[in-house]
Amino acid sequence: MKSNEYHRISDAAEHPALPPEEVGLRVLKLLEGLRSLRGLTGQQVIERTGLPLKLAPEAGVYGFAVRLPDSGWLYYTAYQPADDSREERLYYEVRNPANRNSADMTPVCKLDFGAYADALKRAGYSIGEERNEIGMLEEYIFHREGLTIRIGPRNRTAGDIDAPLCVERLTAYPAD
């Protein structure tokens, strides 16, 4: 890490060229081209995505987070390098802390689940599902040799189950 700045939550006005869909696209492009996260450094993630990730020293991760003040949404990406107790992970997530389960996702869903799924399938990933004990979809799981990606989808709005699914969270980690 070349900068002495540490991770903090930014306001959207500080990064007008990095709305949620652009950050999601950059994470997706990184994952399309990677064969594994093993050995990847925080600096390499910064260079390959062009995202201004900063070190969060207490957590040992590199992160970039933006608050959308008009909607209450927060979106972030983080890279967790491997250490003695954990393996590498790459995250992208959107949250609305004030209204966690029913907030309209339109402000953070211009790049919907279908765009992610199509890009990952074109990059050679197979797709599966994880369902809970009553059969409800929990996550989609994308896999190819060396890498697994789990995507947690959510309806754009609580009342519109026919709208395209949004990506609430994405986690990538080395495949065993």
CA 130 to chain centre: 18
pTM for the whole structure: 0.91
Query: Sorting pLDDT into bands at 50, 70 and 90, what band is 120?
Result: very high
Q: Is residue 132 exposed (0-12), middle (13-18) or buried (19+ Cβ within 10 Å)?
A: exposed
What pLDDT is recorded for position 59?
A: 85
In a domain, 3, yes or no: no
In a domain, 70, yes or no: yes
In a domain, 72, yes or no: yes
Residue 123 near residue 144 (C-beta atoms within 8 A): yes
Averaged pLDDT score across all residues of the chain: 91
In a domain, 111, yes or no: yes
In a domain, 4, yes or no: no
**Residues 5-32, mean pLDDT to the nearest whole number:** 92
Nearest to 42 by CA among 64, 23, 25, 21: 64
Residue 46 near residue 61 (C-beta atoms within 8 A): no
pLDDT tens-place string over residues 20-75: 999 999 999 999 999 999 989 999 999 999 999 999 888 889 999 999 988 899 99
Residue 12 CB contacts under 8 Å (≥ 6 apart), including other chains: 19, 66, 67, 68, 69
**Residues 68-89, mean pLDDT to the nearest whole number:** 92
